[in-house]
């Protein structure tokens, strides 16, 4: 029908928009459930993580739609714990990925994490280890995270 509302659009268009909106919300809800399943699966495999998988998971979580939910928070906490345990095996590039992902998420690492990775982060920010672009990105990340490492 051609009945119009106060804004001049037809009621049939408004109803159509509402159906699209419901469909979109269902899709978003399914995406959220899928991401939660992926977070939980990754947590289940935490004992098998190595530095590369940890940095990749940080990067992946930082690219998922926000907010990340409780499963994402649990995953970030476990990533931080496992990273601390394996800190001596991390390359400087992997540390840079982790710190940049944390900043993208505005996820503030613990003081312990900052202390464990302080020297690696310092070498990144001076551009010695992996170049000036990484130094700039890491410096930005440290500002976002309000990094308080005493080794600087």
DSSP 11-77: HHHHHHHHHHHHHHHHHHHHHHHHHHHHHHHHHHTGGG--HHHHHHHHHHHHHSPSP-HHHHHHHHH
Residue 4 maps to a domain: no
Query: Which pLDDT value is given to residue 5?
Result: 45
Residue 63 maps to a domain: yes
75-94 confidence digits (pLDDT tens) = 999 999 999 999 999 988 89
Range of the domain at 18: 11-145
Residue 3 maps to a domain: no
Q: State the pTM of this model.
A: 0.75
Query: Which pLDDT value is given to residue 65?
Result: 73
Domains contained in the chain, number: 1
106/86 Cα distance (integer angstroms): 23
pLDDT average per 10 residues of sequence, the chain (152 residues): 49 62 81 87 94 96 81 92 94 91 92 87 73 83 82 53
Core vs surface per residue 31-69: b (16+ CB within 10 A) or e: ebeebbebbeebeeeeeebebebbbbbbeebbebeeebe
Residue 150 maps to a domain: no
Query: Which pLDDT value is given to residue 14?
Result: 58
């Amino acid at each position: 029908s051609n009945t119009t509302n106060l804004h001049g659009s037809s009621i049939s268009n408004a109803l159509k928009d509402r159906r699209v909106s419901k469909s979109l919300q269902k899709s978003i809800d399914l995406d959220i459930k899928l991401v939660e399943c992926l977070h939980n699966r990754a947590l289940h495999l935490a004992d098998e993580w190595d530095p590369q998988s940890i940095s990749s998971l940080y990067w992946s979580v930082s690219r998922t739609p926000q907010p990340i939910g409780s499963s994402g928070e649990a995953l970030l906490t476990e990533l931080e714990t496992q990273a601390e345990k394996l800190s001596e095996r991390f390359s400087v590039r992997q540390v840079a990925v982790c710190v940049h992902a944390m900043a993208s998420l505005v996820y503030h690492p613990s003081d312990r994490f900052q202390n464990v990775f302080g020297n690696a982060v310092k070498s990144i920010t001076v551009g010695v280890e992996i170049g000036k672009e990484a130094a700039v990105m890491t410096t930005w990340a440290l500002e976002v995270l309000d990094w308080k490492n005493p080794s600087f």
